[in-house]
Amino acid sequence: MAVGEPNYSRQARGAYGERRAAEWYLANGYEVLDRNWRDGRSGELDLVVRRDGCVVFSEVKARKNADYGLPAEAVTAVKQARLHRLGAAWLKAHDVRATSIRFDVVAVLGTDVLVYESAF
């Protein structure tokens, strides 16, 4: 990679997407409770945010373009089930009161951010 050239690696794209998602949530009145929380080897929660007593587990998918499909399409039923288990584990591991919970998907395509609230 040449000096000054953007880093388009998958890890850099993912970090960029998570940063943009966190910025969106903050701009919309949410508090970021956790980022990249891992529960052993079962997986990772990208973002955990809260607003008005609702805890939101947010899965972030970022892609440079739609050549291989839209980002949100990558959140399969298997991934959704894993995120449900991780959300329950996160709540058990933290002393956080929630009046409700939901699961969002944040799709970052290029520089555009689209948030699917209550996606599953």
Indicate if the pLDDT at residue 40 is higher than 90.
no
Total of domains in the chain: 1
Report, as an integer, the average pLDDT of 68-82. Answer: 94
17 alpha carbon, distance to own chain's centre: 8
Tokens 């850099």 — which residue? 12
Residue 4 is assigned to a structural domain of this protein: no
Residue 45 is assigned to a structural domain of this protein: yes
Residue 2 is assigned to a structural domain of this protein: no
Helices (H), strands (E): how many in the chain?
2, 5
* pTM of model > 0.75: yes
CATH code for the domain in which residue 16 is found: 3.40.1350.10
Residue 15 is assigned to a structural domain of this protein: yes
Residue 55 is assigned to a structural domain of this protein: yes
Residue 111 is assigned to a structural domain of this protein: yes
Residue 97 is assigned to a structural domain of this protein: yes
Domain range for 102: 10-116
Report, as an integer, the average pLDDT of 65-83. Answer: 94
